[in-house]
Amino acid sequence: MKRFENKLIADIVIDNINTSKVFKKYNIDYCIEGKKNFFTVCKKKNIDIKKITSDLSNVNTNIYYLQDYNAWELNFLIHFLSDIHHDYKEENILLLKEYGVKIAKDYSDEYKELKEINTLIQDITEEILEHMKNEETILFPYLKKLLKLREANVKTKSSELPKVKSIDDFEDEHFKIRKVFRKIAELSNNYTIPNNVCDSFKLLYIKLKKFDNELQDHIHIENNILFPKAKELENKVLLQDKSVLA
């Protein structure tokens, strides 16, 4: 138990990504609660400390390299997030939007929560698309520019680089997105499929749950690994302490 006593949740997952399954099991959103103390979160949620620490201790310690995200170079991490994670989300967002409308239309008289779920899906998926676009066209190119400057051992003033949204702004957007998905999970009883519903209804909840899980992983990688590395890079390249992303 002592090995987790003073740990932040994010640090536990960074050390071993396999622990993410345990946090999902106990409904701990490690991507946005990552900077909180493990014991503090467990006590607040009335989680049995002995049981969850036992589960964490029994997690496989062999970490597949392609999941050891903290060991990756920043440039590779950017390509992975953009080319793989973003593509997955864009493909599935269209499906979620389509099925959200269909199921709300067919079943909202019986399941009143579906109207609100569909509204949340329509709104937040558009925000996710906009968020990813901003990362790909603003944040990632900026970080690649900083990487080139570091490689050339060149320092620059923040005024010589384009002003863009701050890293903290992107992180704030993540919190908003996760808050909405937590609401969808609550309304759907954690994506529990009712009896006697059609395959389209089942598919919507299955896809929502999978998207939610993938989203947690994605935001964890960005909030707890990419962004800290990016801020460290800024400190090495920029001539002033104040971030250019302000």
pLDDT at 163: 63
pLDDT at 219: 92
Q: In whole angstroms, what is the distance from residue 181 CA to residue 16 CA? A: 24
CA dist 147 to 141, 144, 179, Å? 10, 5, 32
Note the pLDDT tens digit of each residue in 69-110: 888 889 989 988 888 767 777 778 989 999 999 999 999 999
CATH top class, domain 2-66: mainly alpha
Contacts for 184-188 with beta carbons within 8 Å, 24 or more apart? 184/117, 184/120, 184/121, 184/208, 184/212, 185/212, 187/113, 187/116, 187/117, 187/120, 188/113, 188/117
Note the pLDDT tens digit of each residue in 192-239: 999 999 999 999 999 999 999 989 989 999 999 999 999 999 888 887
Share of the chain above pLDDT 90, in %: 61
Tokens coding 87? 């593509």
Note the pLDDT tens digit of each residue in 153-203: 887 767 677 766 788 999 999 999 999 999 999 999 999 999 999 999 999
**Does residue 18 register a pLDDT over 80?**
yes
Tokens coding 246? 């302000």
pLDDT at 1: 52
Q: Give the Cβ contact number of residue 121 at 10 Å.
A: 26
The closest of 116, 122, 123, 129 to 185, measured between CA atoms, is: 116
Note the pLDDT tens digit of each residue in 113-126: 999 999 999 999 99
Tokens coding 114? 């579906």
Q: Where in the chain is the domain with CATH 1.10.3910?
A: 2-66
At residue 114, the 3 state secondary structure works out as helix
